Chain A
């Protein structure tokens, strides 16, 4: 049975010719992650991927937070599919985990309710004059990196080994809920044991930390986080995870969802500033990386070109453990070469 799952999963990840759908959250909070992913696919893996200027939001955060109704969301997704069709592609690659869950949910609903699909086609035609074909393959970018992890390893300058001790780094992997919990059978390992980040960590020399709250939600909660009054819900969920992983002394957290990444970074700051608690031994917090950042780092790209300076929990201790060379003076240099004034320092969290 597990072998069949593995075969189904592998065949579900298209080999080439990808239509990339950008993520509002990933572009905004981890801008460098999308850019390095495109660079790796084109320049390192030598595959075809298109970055379409006509793209727009999938409206998923609006839908899951209850301000965008279902028919509108479906038609927005239909326009994204129409753009893919016009560009001549069939493999839809949504950068965001929210988008990944959303487009799979819409396609599933259309499968069960074909009349709704016809209605949405009508809305799209009326609103935009466009038509669309269903994608043959909906694949998350993390699956493309996972599928090519061995080929990427051959080109890597660094591994997940502590250069001072020679021991594997201890890595917490956190999977976004909408990647594996909505349609677990589409994911290798299902909702309990998704292999995508585990495979990268183990292939590249690290060890995965198995801790009690490993599959607990980061706490985004859509409408919960979006208003200040309910952010306690979001912080409490991340806090539960931090407390659970702390005894295992992880060197860093790896995520496939940009929202989870941002929350697990920012809530460490908030908890530190409000309660004086950090979850490492040095009051610096546990660095949180996207899988694109990790891949780029190990391939030898400049950490500051990857955007690691936009994380609140600073990454230098992790770079030192891996043995990655970096120029501290380059950290706050902008695109034009201007030396930008450094961010203010937090009260408790050491930077």
Chain B
């Protein structure tokens, strides 16, 4: 099957030099050298996971989910830091992944910092600066115990969430992203610290884009 309907419908194929059909071909070839090239290249990181390919594939295949697996393997074997796009997983782990085990949310008002999100505009900055007043006006329960929107997730639930990450390998996965990123940061001569604010490597992988792209 090589019809290319997935590529025809793919928003990422329109925007990037990227072709999900081609990635499926490489996987089906079982050519380990070519598969390794995928794991250490930029292409697997271009997919936007809209899964339009799932809707359209006449054989019921899902290139987007094959790409999810390639990304997971790329991190597990440590090849993700070989590409500019793969290295960005460190920034995503810092700004989203850690939220999950620290707060119980992927995203919460307090995580969407205006200096990292200029596109959010002045109304968002106003919400961020007045979060409790604005959220609770809308019926929220901002960072407080109990139920309701934006509530503080209690220790018992956070403990379970952290245990899930430990038992299922999620924590090891985070550690692998950190470990390989630290190695790459040394190679690139970028300072890397646990704190985002003074972390040169974080800002490099978060916002820099080379000319080749």
Contacts and interface: CB of A to CB of B under 8 A. Distances in A.
Contacts of B48: 217, 219-222, 224, 233, 237
A45 interface: no
Interface in A250-284: 266-267, 269-270, 273
Interface of B: 11-12, 15-16, 45, 48-52, 54-55, 68-69, 71-72, 75, 85, 88-89, 91-93, 95-97, 100, 104-109, 111-112, 116, 119-127, 130, 132-140, 146-151, 153-154, 156-158, 160-161, 163-170, 173-174, 177, 205-209
A227 B89 CA distance: 9
Contact of A340 (B11, B133, B166): B133
Interface string A12-26: 000000000010110
A231 interface: yes
Contacts of B93: 67
Contact of B173 (A51, A68, A236): A68
A227 B149 contact: no
B168 A127 contact: yes
14 contacts: A22-B149, A56-B104, A56-B105, A62-B96, A66-B72, A75-B164, A76-B161, A79-B160, A79-B164, A221-B49, A223-B89, A266-B119, A312-B124, A335-B135
- Among the interface residues A72, A177, A273, which one has the most CB atoms of the partner chain B within 10 A? A72
Contacts of B11: 216-217, 219, 221, 237
Interface stretch (A28-36, A200-208, A320-328): A28-36
Contacts of A64: 49, 68
Q: Is the interface of B mostly helix, strand, loop or mixed?
A: helix
A226 interface: yes
Contacts of A305: 137-139
Interface string A73-91: 0111001000000000000
A199 B69 CA distance: 37
A120 to B, nearest CB: 8
Given A68-B100, A75-B167, A126-B167, A217 B137 contact: no
A198 interface: no
A130 B156 CA distance: 13
A346 B54 contact: no
Contacts of B158: 56
A52 B102 CA distance: 20
A195 B176 CA distance: 44
B106 A57 contact: yes
Contacts of A184: 55
A74 B164 CA distance: 10
A123 interface: yes
A71 B168 contact: yes
B140 A27 contact: yes
Contact of A217 (B50, B72, B124): B50
A72 B137 contact: no
Given A64-B49, A217-B11, A227-B206, A336 B133 contact: yes
Nearest to B160: A128
A178 interface: yes
Contacts of A127: 160, 163-164, 166-168
A62 B97 contact: yes
A64 B45 CA distance: 11
Contacts of A177: 50-52
Give the 3 A-B CB pairs with smallest separation, nearest first.
Answer: A334-B133, A35-B139, A221-B48
Contacts of A222: 48-49
Contacts of B125: 343-344
Contacts of B153: 55-56
A309 B138 CA distance: 10
Given A67-B96, A123-B164, 16 more contacts: A32-B139, A53-B148, A55-B153, A66-B89, A68-B170, A69-B170, A71-B170, A72-B170, A79-B160, A127-B164, A178-B50, A182-B55, A222-B48, A228-B206, A266-B120, A334-B132
A191 interface: yes
- Among the interface residues B50, B92, B146, which one has the most CB atoms of the partner chain A within 10 A? B50
A181 B157 contact: no
A61 interface: yes
B20 to A, nearest CB: 14
A334 B91 contact: no
A228 B148 CA distance: 31
- Among the interface residues A28, A36, A127, which one has the most CB atoms of the partner chain B within 10 A? A28
A66 B177 CA distance: 11
A178 B51 CA distance: 7
A220 B51 CA distance: 12
Nearest to A228: B207
A72 B173 contact: yes
A68 B100 CA distance: 10
B134 A340 contact: yes
B25 to A, nearest CB: 22
B148 A51 contact: yes
A180 B54 CA distance: 10
A59 interface: yes
A229 interface: yes
A141 interface: no
